[in-house]
Structure 1
């Protein structure tokens, strides 16, 4: 039993040290990668390990005569969970979601400390000591709480109600209404009828179904399908053009949009908002290829005047790429993310 608790205590110490390193930005939050598709189960597994670790640590401290009060055990573990959710989970989750998880974990901690009468008595003992105020120290604490709690509540209320001198919210449409047609390199393209000329089958004919069948799997890791490797030297047709589009993307676009097309490239955080995350189902998965063609060709500066400010720093790539290169980049983006472009059908 003691050996088992020693191992658990070691896990607890390692967990505390790792989390401290993440908070201080010494240890990257993705040192142990959260696997796409298994992230919820992995988080639950890690938290279960840390529960065992804290239990073992508490047991070992108790055997050494340094018992940690149950009240502070509950507080410490709840704080650990909150910090874990903030600094361990990547990509970061919104505060509203963390608050929800924090509330659930608080209920779980409360159930733990009140699991039996003895534990519940130990947990509430520090609170009862202050309320009873039998000693001078507890009297001072009680008076301090009576003064500080109203001050804190009043301070938070005042801070919430006082007028702020902040700049107004900038309303921004993520997907602006496109024009009926656009002119690129002297040729006019009707967005409703134009097609990507490189979405072709092995016979060189336009084939949406063929290209859709060869995109990467949407599951964990976005794996390539068998016999659908664009970097195969014998790749032809659609897959060959995907490779060429990928080469263009990594020569020009990945600095902002990222190696994984997730909007977290080398220069991404120099911009506000950061570049589009193509792996998000709310971006290119919702759009037609011709819309993407127009956006890439015209960039931020080419967006309609009636919608400013767009807060887009994307350059007009028609000044740097040919029409064929733009179409191939679009082909690669859809292939890599595993999404199908929307159609008029």
Structure 2
């Protein structure tokens, strides 16, 4: 029933008002049926009102409220209905009559209902308890992490780098072109990693102020890292 909007700021009062008006309508209908000699028994009237409240809380309220909150409202509404049906001795006797008829088994139908109830209800409760404590072996949900887009520029040690136009400096030769042979000529593969061939040679010393290309970028990378 999300088509019927809840008024922001008045949602609690609106919910109580709608429930009160609905129960008032039910009471008027039941009163009219009683006047016509076709009144609804109090037991089924109470059960019907309680079911209506649960359906109202589940499908009328949005965003949906958790089950624990609905259970609290259901318990409170059940207490209110119990107070209503026990308001007088006659009302209480009328309310409990169907239950006592089933418990006493005054007819074959009531005996059948009693037998089914004594078998189905314990099995249902046991099954609910079993499924509640049964461990689940399903695979955990793999949540996808969406990384934000990198910034257009970044500033490191006072120097601004435009990330949208930068190239990998460790694979670019002095002419600004990607050249794997140029990179391989200046490094050597060792078990501990890729190292410069000869740091004593000015052409391979990244700390030389006049170093260009690959070696210059090695120095800048080391400065940023350390």
Q: Which TM-score applies when normalising by structure 1?
A: 0.42
1:186 aligns with 2:143: no
1:78 aligns with 2:50: yes
Greater strand content: 2
State the superposition RMSD in angstroms: 2.6
CA distance in 2, matches of 1:49, 1:188: 65
Structure 1 unmatched ranges of 5 or more: 1-28, 174-181, 190-345
Change (3 A) 1:116 1:169: farther
Change (3 A) 1:185 1:87: same
Partner residue in 1 for 2:206: none
Residues 244-259 of structure 1: matches in 2 within 5 Å?
A: none
Partner residue in 2 for 1:32: 4
CA distance in 1, matches of 2:42, 2:135: 42
Partner residue in 2 for 1:230: none
Residues 149-188 of structure 1: matches in 2 within 5 Å?
A: 149-168=121-140, 184-188=151-155
What per-residue deviation string (whole Å, max 9, x for no partner) do you get for residues 112-165 of structure 1? 111111111111110011111121111111111121122212221222233323
Residues 91-130 of structure 1: matches in 2 within 5 Å?
A: 91-130=63-102
Change (3 A) 1:53 1:160: same
Residues 202-217 of structure 1: matches in 2 within 5 Å?
A: none
Change (3 A) 1:142 1:34: same
Residues 299-314 of structure 1: matches in 2 within 5 Å?
A: none
Pairwise CA distance, 1:69: 0.8
1:147 aligns with 2:119: yes
1:41 aligns with 2:8: no
SS of the aligned residue for 1:122 comes to helix
CA distance in 2, matches of 1:50, 1:122: 23
* Higher Rg: 2
SS of the aligned residue for 2:122 comes to helix
Partner residue in 2 for 1:56: 28
Pairwise CA distance, 1:171: 8.5
Structure 2 unmatched ranges of 5 or more: 157-226
CA distance in 1, matches of 2:150, 2:134: 51
Pairwise CA distance, 1:78: 0.3
Higher RCO (C-alpha 8 Å, min separation 6): 1
Change (3 A) 1:44 1:183: same
Residues paired across the two proteins, number: 155
Partner residue in 1 for 2:104: 132
Pairwise CA distance, 1:183: 6.4
Pairwise CA distance, 1:172: 10
CA distance in 2, matches of 1:166, 1:147: 32
Change (3 A) 1:188 1:60: farther
CA distance in 1, matches of 2:155, 2:14: 51
